[in-house]
Amino acid sequence: MLGPDAVKDIAEVPLSDNTIASRIDNMSTDIESHVLENIRISRKFALQVDESTDISGHSQLLANARFVDENAIRENFLFCKTLPEKNNWRRNFSVTLQYLNHGELTWENCTSVCTDGANAELCEQNKKP
């Protein structure tokens, strides 16, 4: 459909499992760095955190961030982390805190935390000096 030259060019593109996985990782890292940078520029953000169970029965902690980007309110997926078998709200907070530290985000700039009814009291306690 594109001709023999296009077939030759496409054949030269490396498509091994490792190459594709590496490119997906690179794209994911790039998207994550842009989202984190936009949140840092915005300074204030809100978190929505929820725990879910995947098809294999493992607990996953998912987080979305809402922030102002120029003149629009944006909502972006922030992370999905596998939780240990014995899990509680303290562990959820610890996983969230580790990610915020990794992304150079601080609790002082977090305006609110929305959960599915889980205890978010510790989040409020950590915002106080």
- Classify 19 as helix, strand or coil: helix
State residue 82's pLDDT score: 87
Supply the range of the domain harboring residue 111. 4-127
pLDDT tens-digit profile of 21-36?
Answer: 888 888 988 999 999 9
Percentage of the chain lying above the pLDDT 90 cut: 33
Structure token digits, residue 14? 């490396």
C-beta separation of 49 from 63 below 8 A: yes
Lowest mean pLDDT among 2-11, 23-32, 61-70, 100-109: 2-11
Structure token digits, residue 55? 């098809």
pLDDT tens-digit profile of 80-125?
Answer: 988 877 667 778 888 889 999 999 999 899 999 888 755 555 455 5
Single-letter amino acid code for the residue at 14: P
* Residue 35: HSE in the Cβ half-sphere, 13 Å Cα cutoff: 19
> How many Å from the N-terminal Cα to the C-terminal Cα in the chain?
65
> Based on the structure, what is the number of domains in the chain?
1
